[in-house]
Amino acid sequence: MPKVAIVKRELSKTVATVAKVLVILLGLLIAIALTSIITGASMELAGITLLQGFLNLNVFVYISTLLPIAVGLSIAFSASAWNLGAEGQLVIGAVGATFIALYTPFGRQEVVAPLMALLFASFLGALWALPAALLKMARGINEALTTLLMNFIAYHMTNYLVKGPWRGRAVYGYPTTDMIPVQARIPTVPGYSFSWYVVVICVVIALLMQLFLYRTKVGIALRALGSSPRFVELAGISSKRLFLIAFLLSGALAGFAGGVKVLVYHGKLVEGPIVGSGYGFTAIMLSWLGGLNPLLLIPASYYTAALYILSFGLQIGSAAVGDALANAIVGSLLAFILLADFLTKYRLVIRWS
């Protein structure tokens, strides 16, 4: 009877990096081939659509949301804190930013308004992650299940607000709030729905979190918590405190991304599923694509954002296909890359007994 074991590969960093680059390039070729086969378009047209995705400045719309969430999740996952609730934390962050912009005196103060809105969005994101962390620490309740269920609570709370007490007076019955004041908006690039200010902040966050994880005592202990919690305890560091820090940071960064969506992209609060748009779940895959390394998440988020543009181009371009089919192509490509990343780190050993 065969026995299957997973054995870690002993590859040098150079070989592993080259292998990943080759896999990514192969993945792009597969995306072009799949697009050509399914749509009947020429390989040239499919290749041009993909190239346009990488050159399109709209990639920064997605990077502004995906990168901070993925960085936060990489911190949580490094500490074996399985936060699957980034989607809900993002949505609650959007609610917090809207509250500051529309219902507080800060909302009409330039510079102060967006800063306060982003800070409050981050605070609410962390607060939304807190119950799952406390339940895990106090009662051992699985945090993955708790955070996943809280996504739906966040959706329905937001839907209640935009359909009830926060519904705008000039929205013609649509379930949204009024537009937030201009003073609270973050200036965007003319003709696009992203802000260079936010892009720079997101990159700085990734760099700071890289330094935090690899150059500070707490960060190193967080990474050690994921592989050897007993070692952390023996070193005199509270594993529960580290777990809480990881959870709060991941929630805060997801909330920050929600604030960005309101202050930069939507300009108002809309229904929960529209705010979330699956970004929280995509960021989970992105965090693993970047190897839970905040620095590597910068190019990984660019790559993932380009695939979003590819999906959009497939839906409305000359190689038009359905939304589900376009996302299936993009999702399959990301799954292929994650599988290849696994195979560069591990190998399957089959023994017959």
Greatest Cα pair distance, the chain, in angstroms, is: 73
Contact 313, 53 (CB under 8 A): yes
* pLDDT number for residue 106: 93
Tokens 């994880």 correspond to 213
Tokens of 221: 């202990």
Q: What mean pLDDT value characterizes the chain? A: 86
Instruction: List the structure tokens of 199.
Output: 């892009």
* pLDDT band at 325; cut points 50, 70, 90: low
Strands (DSSP E) contained in the chain are 2-8, 346-352
What's the pLDDT tens digit per position in 75-87? 999 998 999 999 9
- Asked if 213 contacts 81 with a C-beta cutoff of 8 angstroms, the reply is no
Other beta carbons less than 10 A from residue 249's beta carbon: 25
Residue 260 CA to residue 16 CA, distance in Å, equals 35
CB 264 within 8 A of CB 198: yes
Q: Would you give the end-to-end CA distance of the chain in angstroms?
A: 5
The rounded percent of the chain whose pLDDT value lies above 70 is 92
Mean pLDDT for the stretch of residues 23-44: 75
Which domains are present in the chain? 60-319 (1.10.3470)
Which of 304, 313, 334, 339 is CA-nearest to residue 67?
304
Of the pLDDT bands very low, low, confident and very high (cuts 50, 70, 90), residue 248 is very high
- Lowest-confidence pick of 10-19, 61-70, 152-161, 256-265: 10-19
314 — pLDDT class (breaks 50, 70, 90): low
Q: Which residue is it, tokens 């990168």?
A: 67
Q: Which residues contact 173 (CB under 8 A, 6 or more apart)?
A: none
The band of 272, judged by pLDDT with boundaries at 50, 70 and 90, is very high
Overall pTM > 0.85: yes
What is the full DSSP assignment across 148-163?
Answer: HHHHHHHHHHHHHHHH
Exposure of 276 by Cβ count < 10 A (0-12 exposed, 13-18 middle, 19+ buried)? buried
Higher pLDDT, 329 or 238: 238
Confidence band (pLDDT; 50, 70, 90) for 305? confident
CB 313 within 8 A of CB 329: no
Task: Name the least confident of 153-162, 229-238, 247-256, 318-327.
Answer: 318-327
What tens digit of pLDDT does each residue of 197-226 get? 999 999 999 999 999 999 998 898 898 887
